[in-house]
Amino acid sequence: MHCPYCRHTDTKVLDSRVSEDGAAIRRRRRCESCEKRFTTVELMQLTVLKRSGATEPFNREKAIAGVRKACKGRPVSEDDLACLGQTVEDTLRNEGAAEIPAHEVGMAILGPLRALDPVAYLRFASVYKSFSSADDFEDEIALLRMEQAALDDAAPVVEERAQGRSPVVEERALRALVPEEARDEPSRRARNHHDHEADAQPHAVPTG
């Protein structure tokens, strides 16, 4: 590990702490040359298993490259895409597996993208799920409308909860309002998945 101040290679670990989710280790280090201290964060490396059987490190930027194309012309900022990429990576890491099938990367994208921009979602889903006709678009739009209607029905309940006028409503109860077919499940049309790669390397973070 190079010191970020003097680039010396001899550093000493003063303290190590594992993150709550167990996916990262935070280390406090001291350079033996300039004696300055800094922190490094070591992340579990995710590996993507392609359909061919080959594996590649997960790369967040490559994973959302298709999303960026789908969002062209839409009111979606780079910050929005960065947040989506972080959400996707967090979702995959929370699975607790170091090796992720390529199709699971796409599935992890669909939910956050649908919430971010329905039009971009339809564009992305049309490629990812291999839409072959206008009927496929109509079916997907119908599911979106059903989900939105269910969320609209749940809105008064959520508002009452926030104002303390109703008992605590568990998230699973709200989720039950959404038709099962509208939830995030692998589509029967998801035949041709796109490969994605990702990488998570340790980064030195100078903290003085």
- Show the domain range for 123: 46-127+190-200
Cβ within 8 Å of residue 103, ≥6 positions away: 186, 190, 193
pLDDT tens, position by position, 97-136: 778 888 888 889 988 998 898 889 888 888 877 787 888 7
pLDDT tens, position by position, 165-207: 444 444 444 444 444 544 444 444 544 444 444 444 444 444 5
Q: Are residues 148 and 171 in the same domain?
A: yes
Q: Are residues 110 and 196 in the same domain?
A: yes
Q: Are residues 90 and 50 in the same domain?
A: yes
Distances in whole angstroms, Cα of residue 99 to Cα of each of 46, 127, 157, 203 = 6, 24, 40, 21
Residue 47 pLDDT > 60: yes
Domain assignment present for 206: no
Three-state DSSP class for residue 168: coil
Q: Are residues 74 and 63 in the same domain?
A: yes
Q: Report yes or no on whether pTM surpasses 0.75.
A: no
Contact 105, 90 (CB under 8 A): no
Q: Are residues 36 and 18 in the same domain?
A: yes
pLDDT tens, position by position, 143-174: 888 877 776 666 665 565 555 544 444 444 44
pLDDT tens, position by position, 57-73: 888 888 888 899 889 99
Number of structural domains the chain divides into: 3
Q: Are residues 143 and 87 in the same domain?
A: no
The pLDDT score that the predictor gives to residue 200 is: 40
Q: Are residues 119 and 158 in the same domain?
A: no
Q: Are residues 110 and 27 in the same domain?
A: no
